[in-house]
């Protein structure tokens, strides 16, 4: 953090379905110094809401520290279940 009171990172993400359709998000996170330095400065817990219909998705997320330019990324799979289906 080089004496700064907070770290500022850009977070970009996309969820791709099996047809190649996607939903995306972009967010700027301002992380207080105490949170950024906790656990050796390696982990920050964060959550993002993205409305998606039921299905299987590949989720890709990338982050970039605005001060240092350092980047990181992750890819994972999630399945959104169909809920509340009418019984026959």
Token pair, residue 21, equals 């359709």
Work out the mean pLDDT of the chain and round it to a whole number.
Answer: 87
Asked if residue 87 has pLDDT above 70, the reply is no
Q: pTM of the entire structure?
A: 0.77
* 40 has a pLDDT exceeding 80: no
Cβ neighbourhood burial of 57 (10 Å; 0-12, 13-18, 19+): buried
Mean pLDDT of 21-38: 88
Give phi and psi for 36, each to the nearest 5: -65, -30
Q: CA 24, CA 12: separation in Å to the nearest integer?
A: 8
Interval 2-23: pLDDT, tens: 556 788 999 999 999 999 999 9
Please check the confidence at residue 26 and state whether its pLDDT lies above 90: yes
Q: Where are the domains of the chain?
A: 6-44+60-80
């Amino acid at each position: 953090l080089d004496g700064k009171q907070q770290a500022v990172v850009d977070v970009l993400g996309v969820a791709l379905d099996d047809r190649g359709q996607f939903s995306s998000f972009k967010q700027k996170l301002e992380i207080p110094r105490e949170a950024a330095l906790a656990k050796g400065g390696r982990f920050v817990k964060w959550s993002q809401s993205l409305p998606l219909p039921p299905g299987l998705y590949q989720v890709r997320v990338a982050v970039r520290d605005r001060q240092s330019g350092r980047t990181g990324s992750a890819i994972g799979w999630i399945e959104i279940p169909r809920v509340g289906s009418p019984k026959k």
